Structure 1
Amino acid sequence: MNPERLAPSSEEQPYRAAFRAFGGGDANRYSLYDIIYRSPVTGSLLEVEHDLAALQQRSAADWRSLIDSRVGTTQWPYGSGVWGMREWVVPDLRDENVVSMYEGNTNLFWAQRLGRQLGVEDLWIKLCGNSHTGSFK
């Protein structure tokens, strides 16, 4: 896969993210476009590391406002509960390469009887299994 064909230039998108190994021993950063699950150096699992300095250029209130403005919209691809936060998911993926069925934003269900059994008066649960995509579980 050629990441240059998937991602806009840094002038178009200032946010970056990469995989890095848990636990040290591997200072490398790996592209989010690589199909890789473990560090080739240490064998440890990977996590996504965001460019926090770039993300912090926008205030928390501005991020909240931006993300809230995308919830439930039909503007591609931001109506998705996942891609509505794209800068925090895969920040440099071009819109035309996003695959989405507007996943995310699944409802919370009031679990009154289960709550009573557990001694929790107002228990709500997230049921992701009823998502039309079956993803992000």
Structure 2
Amino acid sequence: MADIQTHTLSTDGFASKSQVGDFTLDVDALGDDGPTPNQVLVADYASCFLPAFRVGGQQTGNDDLGKIQIDAEADLDDDDDLSAIRFDIYVEADLDDETLADITERAEGICHVHAALREGLHADITVHGGADIQG
């Protein structure tokens, strides 16, 4: 049996509804009735990288990073394929650049989405420590 199973249905047009366990995800290739597949991939990447970043913090003895926010952006080529992804990571904890780089490197090794993407599409990551994150 597979480790992950999803079921995706499109009754017409370019929108689909995916069932992932108990969760439903609406995706629309045109972006009218939900995020596009590329938008979902970028959000999924950031959603995977954030907890990996926290684990990287724990591995370096920085258990309390406070709030973390990832602002992700991506570029599309002429065929609407992802050509670049960038993360700006804002970390509430005020850590030096060397520590943040170490945590980032560890997170890259932990994040499963990072490992699944072709190397040329790995996020270009900038981390900002001591950030005042609202929300």
Normalised-by-shorter TM-score class: under 0.3
Higher helix share: 2
* TM-score, reference length from structure 1: 0.26
* TM-score, reference length from structure 2: 0.26
Larger radius of gyration: 1
